[in-house]
Amino acid sequence: MSSQTNDDQTTTTPATRGVAGSSPLVARGVMKAFAHVPVLRGVDLEVAPGEIHALLGSNGSGKSTFVKLITGTYSADKGSEITLAGETFSSLTPQHARALGVRTVHQESPLIGQMTVAEHFGLDRGFPTGGGLVRRGALRKMARDALARVGTTIDPGMLAKDPMAAERAQVSLALAMTDLEPGRGLLVLDEATALLPAPDAKPILEQVRALAAEGVGVLMVTHRLQEVTDYCHRVTVLRDGEVVLREPVSGTTHDQLVNAMVGRTEETGLETHHQRIKRVLDGAVEPIVDVRGLSGHGIEDVTFQVRPGEILGFAGIVGSGASEVGRIVTGADTADTGEIVIDGKQAPKRWSPRAAISAGVCFVPQDRHAEGGVLSLSLADNVTLPRYSEYWRKGKEEDAAVSGVITDLEVLPPVAEKPFAEFSGGNQQKALLGKWLLLEPKVLVLDDPTYGVDPHAREVLLRAVAQVADRGAAVIVISTEPEQLARICDRVLVMRSGRISAELTGDHINEVEISLACFS
């Protein structure tokens, strides 16, 4: 793996030569900890005028935290220095960051669905008025001119909920670009193209390239290594909150970038702390899950099987379609076409979460707050919710069930009546997995089950998942963390652009090969 480059050795790229003005971003020794747990450990990063600088790293590396610090969402810890437009601060507010020329385009393109596209530009830049009324024609012209700058002709009068994902991304980019001046400002692309197919992302990235050519600095957070190769000048890689590589893009390969992200060098090989659980799967055994030609919600013609005792992994970057597969199999979303067969019985067309649970299919969703648990209820109520009627007037049985989950999954603090909202994310996730384990599922589907949890909670959760498979259930683990899949899966299917693009088995189930299949 290439070593980190010193700042005074960094090569100036052709795109940054001759561009006047100070660097739009200089970060020195940036640190951030949550509850005394370090997330960023002295990060240095500079974006020059006219440069597109890639920021890479696996989930949990600190990328999102760094973006939130430079955009003012979080406050940096003491000793950090963030310089924007020549002014240095220890921390910022969103308003101050914006005043200094920082604009951000987020992955989700957060727009207010019931407002028109034009009204978003009014919110951002101020509504043109006359006689105490909004001048609608002037507002639409303002929006139309801004949208034209990013090459789109969508109707400014349409509701923001109606454009396609690529068009929403263009609207967000146009909003960000409205008052970026040539030679000044910083545009932050926070996984802005993650939910878009590559052909839809290309026009947006071409506009970003044109903006950089005018002297605006761009910090691009992405998982797509081809975007780094095609559009970026320099790349910084974070791992465990530290800079592990900083190089001109022209001097790196995809393998080097992946190796830096996952902590592998060509000399030492992949280092793991735990042996991946290996099972011998008998192909003659009938599958518990048999999915055929599943299409809809961004996936197309997905076919796979899961046998008893098997842990099948789905890998893919955000927007690849991996999460959508899990949601359709568990009834959270409905497929347009295809068949789902569970334990020999075909799922009905009106497949729903209730029907799935009745068939023995349980789902641990990625968003534990919005879809997983009920924050206002106690831990005990969350754990027993799927079988609430069965515990009616059976307090001792209910207490025993909750106590078993708390003990087996090491939920801390072990207080059943404590409000669910007051537990840490890792302990909430343990409880949510525990509530489904009480049902002894035939099929368990988990979407990024260890996302945002501490290392010990991760171990507890993965151990419990392996035990479910040991008891003969079919397990599907969807994850954006290759290391997690490499440790526990018997097979891994890689999703790209809504389709299964690769199947990894045997010795090919390792962090590097999974990462390369996802990112390349």
The string of DSSP letters for 296-311 reads ETTEEEEEEEE-TT-E
pLDDT of res. 282: 64
Q: Give me the mean pLDDT over the 98-110 stretch.
A: 80
> Is the model more confident about 126 or about 464?
464
pLDDT of res. 352: 95
Angle at 366 between CA 327 and CA 398, to 5 degrees: 95
Residue 13: pLDDT band with limits 50, 70, 90: very low
Q: Give me the mean pLDDT over the 283-292 stretch.
A: 89
C-alpha 131/C-alpha 141 separation (Å) is 19
Residue 288, pLDDT > 60, answer: yes
- CATH 3.20.20.150 for domain 289-519: no
The per-residue pLDDT for range 489-509, each reduced to its tens digit, is: 999 999 998 999 999 998 899
Q: Give me the mean pLDDT over the 155-170 stretch.
A: 82
Lowest mean pLDDT among 45-54, 321-330, 363-372, 390-399: 390-399
Domain ranges of the chain: 20-110+183-262, 289-519
For 451, what's the count of Cα atoms within 13 Å in the CB-facing half-sphere? 17
Model confidence, pTM: 0.60
C-alpha 53/C-alpha 13 separation (Å) is 11
> Is the model more confident about 20 or about 324?
324
Task: Look at residues 274, 479, 194 and name the one whose alpha carbon lies nearest to residue 364.
Answer: 479
pLDDT of res. 426: 83
Task: Look at residues 237, 154, 168, 170 and name the one whose alpha carbon lies nearest to residue 202.
Answer: 170
Of 1-10, 149-158, 427-436, where does the model show the most confidence? 427-436
Q: Which CATH number fits domain 20-110+183-262: 3.40.1190.20, 3.30.160.100, 3.40.50.300, 3.90.1150.10?
A: 3.40.50.300
Query: What contacts 391, CB < 8 A, 6 or more positions away?
Result: 384, 397, 398, 401
Q: What is the mean pLDDT of the chain?
A: 85
What's the burial of 279, exposed, middle or buried (CB within 10 Å: 0-12/13-18/19+)? Answer: middle
